[in-house]
Amino acid sequence: VAGELENTVFELTSPARLFDIRRITVVADTTGNHLAEAEKLSRLVERFRTEEDAWWNDVLIAEMIALAEKTGDVTRNPVALKATTYDQGNFWTAHFGGIYIFRDLDHPAAISVGPKEALGQLPVRYVFGLGDRNQIAKFLEINDLAEPIVSAPGADASAILRQKMDFIVVAAAAELGLDIGHGSRRDLRQAAAALGARLPEAFQGLAALLRWVETGGPWPRITSAHPSYFYTLRAKPHADRDLVNMLLAELSPLDVRQLFICHKELFYHLYRSWPEAKKEYVADYLEREYQIDKAGARSRLFGPEPAMEETPAIPGWSRPGRGDILDAVGPWGAVRKERR
């Protein structure tokens, strides 16, 4: 079964036209057009039953037989998929190099994957590029869209941080042609030791945060300018959770698990250029750790699915106060010296 997206915008002559898209209709059919053919056959069957002298209409009977060979017996096994229409306020599009459009927020913005200057005039005040890390961090904070993994309810922060660090080690080792063995935790520790000072800054930042989580070490000052910053966040439970996690995956592409779950198009684009050792490790990991329990993995990483309500916040979850750790992580707040 394949789906087709329909909307009322028939041409995109400029990025600004994307903001005219408000309602999406999903029309489903099989790749062989079986559903459309089945609907046509149903109409012919109704004609055959109701028209006078239909038994002697050879053309009608021949057309019914030809369609039935494709669709089967639709009178006994009717097949129908209803078109689904829904409003889409915030979304990502691959058009114009890739754009994240957040317009239905208190502080709307557009985030461009390519050069933001190429977008021209847009009907929102703020337009960022992926390199505008401080602005994107502030945008996520003032719209209450993201939370630190270390303070996220129900998250096993240690396990999540360690796995992110493993992915970074694999990427760095594979680029330098270092052996990662079978990719076990022991093999990756040895690879990390061999890399030493060549380990990326993103790894160093996550390692410092892990020490704070596990041993009560000093609170690391990780601002939005630090390469590890967006690796430390996940979307809060709200209607745009998947979109925000998709954006965070693009901002932290070495976390291949989140990239695969949240942004498959980018995952497969990057996969083609990876060294063979990294391809092999990632494919084995996803098959072994993710594919066997997709729902469980998503819940552990991103929390339970948000309630399908007009008010997306889960009851009992309040907005962060001034002392929330998100303020401490970002460049707009004070650094917390002690572990709480």
- Phi and psi at residue 242, in whole multiples of 5°? -65, -40
CA distance 235 to 48: 56
CA distance 112 to 115: 7
Q: Which pLDDT does position 323 carry in this prediction?
A: 38
| Global confidence as pTM | 0.74
Q: Which pLDDT does position 119 carry in this prediction?
A: 93
Q: Which pLDDT does position 131 carry in this prediction?
A: 96
Contacts 24+ apart (CB under 8 A), 69-72: 70/32, 70/34, 70/37, 71/34, 71/37, 71/38, 71/41
Q: Which pLDDT does position 111 carry in this prediction?
A: 98
* Residue ranges of domains in the chain: 23-86, 89-139, 145-329
Q: Which pLDDT does position 306 carry in this prediction?
A: 63
Q: Which pLDDT does position 281 carry in this prediction?
A: 95
CA distance 320 to 330: 13
Written as tens digits, the pLDDT of the chain (340 aa) is 444 555 555 566 788 888 887 766 666 555 445 556 667 777 877 787 888 777 778 787 788 777 776 666 545 545 555 656 666 789 999 999 999 999 999 999 999 999 999 999 999 999 999 999 999 999 999 999 999 999 999 899 999 999 999 999 999 999 999 989 888 889 999 999 999 999 999 999 999 999 999 998 889 999 999 999 999 999 999 999 999 999 999 999 999 999 999 999 999 999 999 999 999 999 999 999 998 899 999 999 999 876 544 434 333 333 344 334 333 344 333 334 344 3
